[in-house]
Amino acid sequence: MGVHRSNRNQRISVPYCLLTIVLLTSCAGPAPSPIDPEAVAASVAERKETPSEVILAAIALHDAPPLGLEFPEGLDPKRDAGRDVFWHAHAIAFAPSVRTSRRAWRALREEAGGAGTPDRTSVLYKNEELPDSAHQDVVAASVDLLGLLGIGPKAAEKELATRIVGQALGELEEEVWRSVFAVDRARVHLAAVRWRESVLRKLVADAYQDMRRLELLDKRGRLADGLLGRVRASLAGLDAQVANLHTLITRRREEVARRSGLTPDAPAMDAIEVAILLGSGGPLAAAPSPIQLLDTLPVLRSAHLAYAVAEAQVRAAAAAAWPRLRIGPHLKIRADTFLSGGVVSLDFPWPTAVAAGIQAAIERREASREKLEDILAGVLVTIAARQQEHEIATVHHARHAKVQKAGSARAWRAARARLSIEEDAHVVENWLDAVHLRARGLIAEVDATEHARISDLSYREAAGLRPGLEPEGDR
């Protein structure tokens, strides 16, 4: 009886030991981290005047300043809100697309740390009944030998994971590039609509100053029937334009806030002024050569890194020809004896399947090469188009918008001067034409300046040239 109990206890101890190991392993996960609504709301609210250490901590997640951009130790929302570095830092720290891409890259980098490691260790337990009514426990374990040595498929797997991390970094650089230019465009559009509202509001104020003279002429019977009504309707129309521009300012603030991650009521929003539209106006920098573009333009760098992934996939497909080799101990445990041995497992792939996988990987690699070539060809076309657009915008600003502004200003001054001394209806008609001409001249200058600034940004984005709105010496 004692021997039988010993055998039963022995048989039960092996599975219980394995179960204990499984349970202990399952307890090794990180602690839960549920969403705290108050913390989320507070994190967003603090962006109104984000401390510089919060911004720099977010940028530090890149391991190095993206695209070689340099950031000072302190970024003061009141002092630096007119500078490119302030807005670029916020875009890189808080732009939603950058945050998503950054975390995806970091996650892949962590996963790459486990790439190329051996496959799971396998443990098999069986309880067998022998012919003499006795029992034995069989335990067999095996490990991935090639994985332990880091050769064959595991070496290819590690190389592929490294290339995938590189591709993710390239995609992150693309998002950073797009985001900093997007926030620059949003700043230009906000400054332009504020400029339109300012000049139009001043014109309306000047026009209303002349209303007393117009009403006096109407009382004296100097104006035709309905003429004063036309004047009032015209000024009401200009008032409506100013009101619409107020609404558009709100929309443009919203766009800047979305692109930079700030809140719409952040004090930095008020630092976006007309000056940023007047910063450059000089000739465009020369476009880099195609070879330089392959190294500097993020979309091409990303495509080049994607090709490296395709190349690594060819190596991984070729490494699939290696057999899988597993080795380990094999144990038999009985009540009265203990037997030991070994296990060797070889898993051979089917040659035609390996060859097909290699050919498919080669086709994908060539497709990646062709995609890189197509992107470069498209970039060169875009650069040429953006150069022409900027030239057209610059010429239009100089030859048309400035002339229209200057001519409308002279006409407006002359019309107001005649209105102050003459009393016939023709003078009022001339004044009405002049006020509308002046409104169009003022808006034309803003439109042309905005268009030229946007075309400059579009060219530099396409050509891989440095972003920003400040003059070169102030950057």
Structure confidence at residue 68 (pLDDT): 73
Would you state the pLDDT for residue 53?
74
Mean pLDDT (whole number) for 239-266: 92
pLDDT confidence tier of residue 221, bands split at 50, 70 and 90: confident
Q: How far apart are CA 408 and CA 365, in angstroms?
A: 61
* Predicted local confidence at residue 15, as pLDDT: 61
Q: What is the mean pLDDT of residues 74-82?
A: 74
Which domains does the chain carry?
2-14+47-474 (1.20.1600.10)
Residue 1 has pLDDT above 60, yes or no: no
Share above pLDDT 70 across residues of the chain, in percent, rounded to a whole number: 90
Strand partners, 347: 324
CA–CA separation, 122 vs 145, rounded Å?
Answer: 12
Among the residue ranges 45-49, 122-126, 309-313, 363-367, the one predicted with the least confidence is: 45-49
The larger pLDDT score, comparing residue 238 to residue 273, is at 238
Residue 211 — very low, low, confident or very high, per pLDDT cuts 50/70/90?
confident
Higher confidence at residue 343 or residue 359?
359
* pLDDT, tens digit, 9 for 90 and up, residues 284-295: 889 999 999 999
If you average pLDDT over residues 406-412, what whole number do you get?
A: 95
Task: Name which residue leads in pLDDT, 223 or 411.
Answer: 411
pLDDT for 373: 97
Mind spelling out the 3-state secondary structure of the chain?
Answer: CHHHHHHHHHHHHHHHHHHHHHHHHHCCCCCCCCCCHHHHHHHHHHHHHCCHHHHHHHHHCCCCCHHHCCCCCCCCCCCCCCCHHHHHHHHHHHCHHHHHHHHHHHHHHHHHCCCCCCCCCEEEEEEEECCCCCEEEEEEEEEEHHHHHCCCHHHHHHHHHHHHHHHHHHHHHHHHHHHHHHHHHHHHHHHHHHHHHHHHHHHHHHHHHCHHHHHHHHHCCCCCCCHHHHHHHHHHHHHHHHHHHHHHHHHHHHHHHHHHCCCCCCHHHHHCCHHHHCCCCCCCCCCCCHHHHHHHCHHHHHHHHHHHHHHHHHHHHHHCCCCEEEEEEEEEEECCCEEEEEEEEEECCCHHHHHHHHHHHHHHHHHHHHHHHHHHHHHHHHHHHHHHHHHHHHHHHHHHHHHHHHHHHHHHHHHHHHHHHCCCHHHHHHHHHHHHHHHHHHHHHHHHHHHHHHHHHHHHHHHCCCCCCCCHHHC
**How confident is the model over 12-66, as pLDDT tens digits?**
465 656 556 555 555 566 778 788 788 777 777 777 666 667 787 888 888 877 8
List, for residues 168-186, the tens digit of each pLDDT value: 999 999 999 999 999 999 9
Task: Identify the pLDDT of residue 474.
Answer: 53
State residue 241 phi and psi, 5-degree precision.
-60, -40
pLDDT of residue 242: 96
Distance CA 285, CA 460 (A): 8
- Return the closest-CA partner of residue 274 out of 189, 158, 177, 169: 189
What phi and psi, each to the nearest 5 degrees, are found at residue 131? -60, -30
82 band by pLDDT with thresholds 50, 70 and 90: confident
Residue 9 has pLDDT above 70, yes or no: no
The pLDDT value given to residue 125: 82
Going by C-beta distance under 8 Å and a sequence separation of 6 or more, which residues neighbour residue 315?
156, 159, 160
Those residues with Cβ within 8 angstroms of residue 459's Cβ, 6 or more apart along the chain or in another chain: 284, 383, 386, 387, 389, 390, 465
When the pLDDT of each residue in the chain is averaged and rounded to a whole number, the result is 86
pLDDT tens digits for range 105-119: 999 999 999 998 888
Q: What is the pTM of this model?
A: 0.85
Q: What is the mean pLDDT of residues 384-395?
A: 94
Residue 226 confidence class, pLDDT cut points 50, 70, 90: confident
- Mean pLDDT over 318-340 rounds to 86
Q: What is the pLDDT of residues 421-470, one digit of tens each?
A: 887 888 888 999 999 999 999 999 999 999 999 999 999 999 999 898 88
Least confident of 229-238, 329-338, 355-364: 329-338
Residue 239's pLDDT is what?
95
What pLDDT, on a 0 to 100 scale, did the predictor assign at position 338? 82
Digit-coded pLDDT (tens) for 145-158: 888 888 889 999 99
Contact (CB, 8 A) for 458 and 411: no
pLDDT surpassing 50 at residue 10: no
pLDDT at 27: 57
For 240, other C-beta atoms within 10 Å of its C-beta total 10
pLDDT of 4 higher than 50: no
Q: Is the pLDDT of residue 7 over 50?
A: no
- The per-residue pLDDT for 39 is 78
- With a CB cutoff of 8 Å and minimum separation 6, the contacts of 65 are 59, 71
What are 27-40's pLDDT values in tens digits? 566 778 788 788 77
